[in-house]
Amino acid sequence: MARANAAYYAGRDPFADFITAPEISQMFGEILGAWVAVTWQGMGRPVPFALVEAGPGRGTLMADMMRLLARVAPDCHDAARVHLVELSPRLRDVQQAALAGRTAHPVTWHDRIEDVPEGAVILLANEFLDALAIRQFVRTADGWAERFVQGPAFVTQPASDLPPGPFDRPVPCGEILECCPDALAVARHVAARLCRAPGTALFVDYGYDGAVWGDTLQALRDGQPAWPLADPGLADLTAHVDFAAFAAAVRDGGAVCHGSVTQGALLGALGLFARAEQLARNRAPGEAYAIRDAAQRLAAPDRMGRLFKALAITSPGLPVPPGFALP
Ligand code: SAH
């Protein structure tokens, strides 16, 4: 599954199949740009610092953040060394074009988060974790079995060794538990890094938070749901992110978790609706409607607002990041 998804991102324009928050509206990147500026201040304004995005897609989020920072927080803008973690050469080209003229220093690309140089860091990742390959385990009367892909079908075999994961959950017989070893490795790496140097990370993705289970593997091809095992490399394969397991791995690594909170709560707390009204002012009615509708699409519970969640991670001793204080 991992290889099928790498082939997919390398070979196709994924944004023909789905639309992500930064592509819905510039407001998403502007709001998170302001979040970066305040977070940077809370970290003691380190100069320089690595501004890292994992899985930047078309580069829209980073471009919108940098435009906002140049305007309202030029010190932060100039201190930022932008690092992008992206495997797809084709998307790297798109990102380079999106960021041309937007950064004070050259942008650096990496294959893996682990390759970003040490030091003060602010890391963001929107819809990155959901693209990482999962493993699926089935609870049986005799213990755990693992689901494998064989040709166009799933087969189940007794699990010989279990990876680290949430296997202590009270999963009923016949039900599926997913775990994402690559996401847990990211969690452990980020936690260790934030224990060595001041840093804050923000992961936004669709997923669940709690002791839950179930099959969430899904495929989208040409914008339509598809059978996940048909035509490897031609459909986008994703799974919901298990924020509880991710946060547990972060805490085990010694860093501090804030949230998760829903995307709607985060963007609302950070001023999404005020920004929408500001942008809508003096616009033609159709344009004003589109701006307000985009804000609703990002934040309303029955649209992206509840399914999408945000988890912030900080070095021990740093302030709670904006939008994550308990009400
Ligand atoms: N954050 C963007 C794109 C989300 S799509 C947005 O919100 O629009 C997922 C992104 O992660 C793509 O850029 C894809 O190429 C990248 N990606 C997927 N798996 C990856 C991996 N293992 N390592 C690095 N990047 C990966």
CA distance 217 to 24: 24
Question: Hey, what are 193's tokens?
Answer: 């890094």
86-110: string of b/e by CB count within 10 Å (b at 16+)?
bbbeebbebbeebbeebbeeebebb
pLDDT of residue 2: 47
235 touches 8 (CB < 8 A): yes
197 touches 121 (CB < 8 A): yes
Q: Which residues of the chain have pLDDT under 50?
A: 1-2
**Nearest atom in ligand 1 to 85's CA:** 24
- Which run of H or of E encompasses 30? helix 26-42
The protein residue with its alpha carbon nearest to ligand 1, atom 5, reads 57
pLDDT of residue 287: 96
The protein residue with its alpha carbon nearest to ligand 1, atom 18, reads 131
pLDDT of residue 237: 86
Burial tier of 31 (Cβ tally within 10 Å: 0-12, 13-18, 19+): buried
121-169: pLDDT as tens digits: 999 999 999 999 999 999 999 999 999 988 888 899 999 889 998 999 9
| Cβ of residue 128 lying under 6 Å from some atom of ligand 1 | yes
Number of other residues whose CB lies within 10 A of the CB of residue 44: 10
127 CA to centre of ligand 1 in angstroms: 7
DSSP character at residue 155: E
pTM above 0.85, yes or no: yes
pLDDT of residue 33: 98
Annotate 285-320 with DSSP letters as a single string: HHHHHHHHHHHHHHH-IIIIITTEEEEEEE-TTPPP
Q: In degrees rounded to 5, what are phi and psi of residue 323?
A: 90, -5
242-257: pLDDT as tens digits: 999 999 999 999 999 9
Best probe residue, ligand 1, of 8, 9, 190, 236 (max atoms within 8 Å of C-beta):
9
pLDDT of residue 225: 84
| Cβ of residue 86 lying under 6 Å from some atom of ligand 1 | yes
Beta partners for 51?
82, 122
pLDDT of residue 13: 63
The protein residue with its alpha carbon nearest to ligand 1, atom 14, reads 55
The protein residue with its alpha carbon nearest to ligand 1, atom 13, reads 57
196 CA to centre of ligand 1 in angstroms: 26
54 CA to centre of ligand 1 in angstroms: 7
pLDDT of residue 104: 97
Pick the closest to residue 182 from 139, 248, 218, 128 (CA basis). Answer: 128
